[in-house]
Structure formats: structure tokens, C-alpha cells
Chain A
Amino acid sequence: MSIAVRNVVKKFGNFTALDDVSLDVPHGSLVALLGPSGSGKTTLLRIIAGLEGPDGGSVLYHDEDVTHRSPRDRNVGFVFQHYALFRHMTVFENVAFGLRVRRAPKSQVDSRVRELLHLVRLDGFAGRYPPQLSGGQRQRVALARALAVEPGVLLLDEPFGALDAKVRQELRQWLRRFHDEIKVTTLFVTHDQEEAFEVADRVVVMHNGRIEQQGTPQEVFDHPANAFVMDFLGNVNVFQGRIQDGKMHLGNIEMACPEYTNGEARAATAYIRPHELDIDRSPSVASSLRAKVLQINPNGSVAKVRLASEEAALELNVEINLDRYAELGLQPGDLVHVAPRRFRVFFPEDYSI
């Protein structure tokens, strides 16, 4: 079942949680709603589920308007951030709940619950109570419970938020494979961009109750629509400068910026990702920034180098691959030259927090 959200507005008192949000989730896809806390992503999810009503706009399931339909008639599976398992029921009864309230015959309930517990790898746990389970197990019970009623849409609110790093990593990959098996249209909320990029087919970046950008993880990461998206999706070095006649001036250095040929000088901000900066012993490129190495942290496949540039009066984060790192033989205190390979320019008025 595909989901469409049309011009949804939601206010809590004076606070606008969702400001004219429109969104399409294609059938069978796995989509991440990504944003900082307070961006409205959970509110949007709850409106799609019918747990909140929008103040304006509509929600469509497969071209059918369900805006005023109660959650019980929407056939959604919702997994809550803190699982919300029924604490007085066993794992079996938790999973069976949706079928029992629909008065499904007992034999059907039995076989369906067994199937689901097998699917989420909790075969031996039917008789346990929620307090007797670990976080990851509770999460999977919540998932099985939501799937028991064969929902057309699966909605997950921060599904991995309350888990520790290792379990989270495992469950992420598991969810991806799981989705590939069951093919239910799935929408999940997260504030962790790494999680969104790893799991989802499409990423929807939200900020201040609006959708800033949506697309595949690759599109969003490579072509951020604005400064917020750029900033939110991982580390970035921010340079304040001026732009004039197709050239960006950052302190003493000058970078070609052919898109802006206007003769009038204008304040601009350049965003450069750590891996888009190169370090050199000598000023190999015409315009490079002199900087002093503060700290080096070889981390997995890259070395993270922190530098201070006195000319630009800022700290830089650079990531270089380990071969390059070995070649340079960097030591803290070394004076080096830093030059950008790529950068993106946004004008300050585009970006306000």
C-alpha cells in the first residue's frame, strides 16, 4: 500500500509541528524520516497512523483518503519508541492481541503467532513476560505484534533509539533484510543519519516542521538541497566568505565558483566535508590554507586529522585515507597546507536555525 501525505498542518498551541508537509511513500519501499528532535518527524508518523489528527491537509492510503479514519480502521502496524508492550501479557499474548481483538479463531491465532515469533527469532520466548526480555528482544516482540494483523503499512518510531550500539547495528541490518522479505511499505523515524542511510531506500530530511529534502541516500548526501541538510548529514567544515565574479574568497584563498557571476559582492558560506579536503606538505595548489596539525586519530579506514588555521581563524576536520596518512607521516604540530577538492556554497539567508 502506498502512502501519500498532502499539505498536512499540525499545531500544538502556538507551536507549529508540521507546516504544509507533503510526502509520497511508494508501495513496498522502506523510507526514513530523518531530522533533529522537534523537527516534526514523529508527529508526521503519528498522523499517518491516525494516532493524531492533522489540523489541515489529508493522508491517503493507496489513493484513498483516510484522514478521518480511526487507527483501527487503517490497518497499520505501529512500533513505538519504547515498545509499549503489554506488561501483564506474555510474549505470545502480546503478539496475539491484534488478532484477538478482531476475534480471529483460536487455531488461526496460534499458528500465526508461532509463525511470527519464528520470523523474529523468538521461538522459545512465547511464555516470557516483557520485563524478562532484553531491549532487542522487546523490540522484535513489538515488531511481531505490529505485523500480526497483516498491516498494509508498517510505521516505526525511533525503532533502535533505546538500544545499545551493537544491538542497534545488528537490528538495523536485520530490519533491512526483513523488509526485503516481507515487502511491506515501511516508514521509520530516526535522528541518526547513519541509520537512515544504511537502512532506507529513500530518506526524507525534516527540519522545523518542514521537509527539507527527499531522495535516495546517495542523492541526498551528494546533492544536499540546502545548508541545513548539508550540516545535518555528518561532519562538515564551515567557511564564512564573500563571493564575487565567480570567485569565492575565504580569507586569503580563492576558489572558483562559476555559478555566481554577479559582480556584486555577497556574503556566502562554504561547506566542505572532511573527506573533501586534502593535506599537503607544500602548497601544491595555488590557493591553499596553511594550518597546524593538532590531533590525529587513525580510525578504521581513514585518519581523522584536526587542524587549526590561523589565517582563517578556525579549526578544520580532515579525513585522509591511511595510505596518504602514511605517506605524509604527519605529526601533531606539523605545519601543512590544506586545499579543498569540492565545496558547496549556500547563502546565509537560506539557512536559519
Chain B
Amino acid sequence: MSEDVKIIERKEIPKGAVMIFGFPDVGLVGVIAASHLILELGLEEVAYVDSRLLPPVIVLHEGLPHSPIRIFGNHQILLAVSETALREDLIYPIMHALIDWGKNKGAKMMISLSGIPVQDRQDLDELKVFAAASSPEMLKMVQDKGLEVLREGYMVGPQAVMLQYCATLGVPALTLLAQCFFNYPDPEAAAKALEHLANLTGVKVDVSKLLEKGEEIRLKARDMMKRTQQELAKMRKTQEYDIPLYIS
């Protein structure tokens, strides 16, 4: 594990769990989905990230300080979630530390929940979810489950680092990308990503409350979305729209 990033454990960590990541990105899909999982499954904080690389920010809940990056869990899943937009230069050390930690804890699979921006999103009634995988076996698994694969293109952000690092380590990993707004919080996209997560892992949650509370979530998530937009611009997130030139 990186010297600069420590994972402090607060509870016993289950072996063989699925490790899920919900980090700020387009549409805040991962964070909204993670927040809903925590509420619906009653997940408890089991560990948190401590690092001097992080900005001097804490999150206060019920008057007590918490790290902005925490890991929640139960016997079945470990869920890493960030309540603050991550600076571009922090993505590598934070993601590598979390993946190293999860691997040491025997996580059987890692899944990142995220979004893929789509033009005229407001006109879409049915949102698609795409998947990208760390290995041909994982790719086959998602195709067998009926998910569409993101075949060609660029991926930018924490999920990109997660997928590449897991491929290097030989850890089975997936990224689920729900079609979403680029700049606006998208609870509908988060619900869609959760439906596919259930299909892949059996981690089922009722998404009806998430959809009912959609407007409330969009209002609450404005400030986090604004900060995330600033960081996405710095990490050149719009490269995901680029047509790649492959050199074989």
C-alpha cells in the first residue's frame, strides 16, 4: 500500500466481498448510487482513507468528523465512496491504495459505478448501461448477462485508473457506465446502474425511493456537482467524446 495513503480500519473486514466504488464523476452517478446503497442496505463505515495528500477537508456528520473518503460494508460488499471531488493528481494514489487494500482483504471482484454523458439526455426515456472489463473472462461475463460493452473509446477518471490497475494485478473488475447528463446530477442514471449491479452481483436494492426523491437529490447535489465539474475540466474529461486512433 502507498506510504502516502493509509486505510484505517474501524471494523472487521469481511473476506470475499465485492468491492464497489462510487466516486464523483459525470452526473454524480457513482456517488448517488453509493449513497442509496448505504441507506437501503444499512451499510456501516468499516474503514476510511487517511492521507496528507488530501485537501484539508473533513465531513461533519452528527457533529463528528469523518474522512471524505470512506469504505462502508456488510458481509457481502465493501463500498468505497468519496464525498468530495477528487483532484486529478490524487486519483492514482487514492485508487491504487484502495485497490491494494481490497485485494489484501480478498475482495473477489471490483466494480466501479459511473456514468457516460449523452447529448440531449433529457429526451431519453430509456437509459442504456455500458460495461468495460479488466479481462476477457469478465467481458464475457457481462455479455452473458446482456450488458452492452463499451468497445472503443477513451475513459477518464477514477474508474479508468481502477480498471487498468485491476487488469495489471489480475483482479477481476468491471466499470458500469449509465447514460447520464454531463453536468447535472442524474438519479435516474444512478438507479439504472444499480439495477445492472443487482443483475451482475445479486446485490439488490429497491430503487423506487431513489427515483421518487430525484428532484430532492438533484437540489442537494448541486454544490458537489459544481466542484466535480471543475475537477472534470482539469482532467480533460471531454476526451471521452474523442474518436480514438488505434495503433495496432
- Chains A and B form a bound pair: no
* Chain B residues within CB distance 8 Å of chain A: none
Q: Which A residues are closer than 8 A to B by beta carbons?
A: none
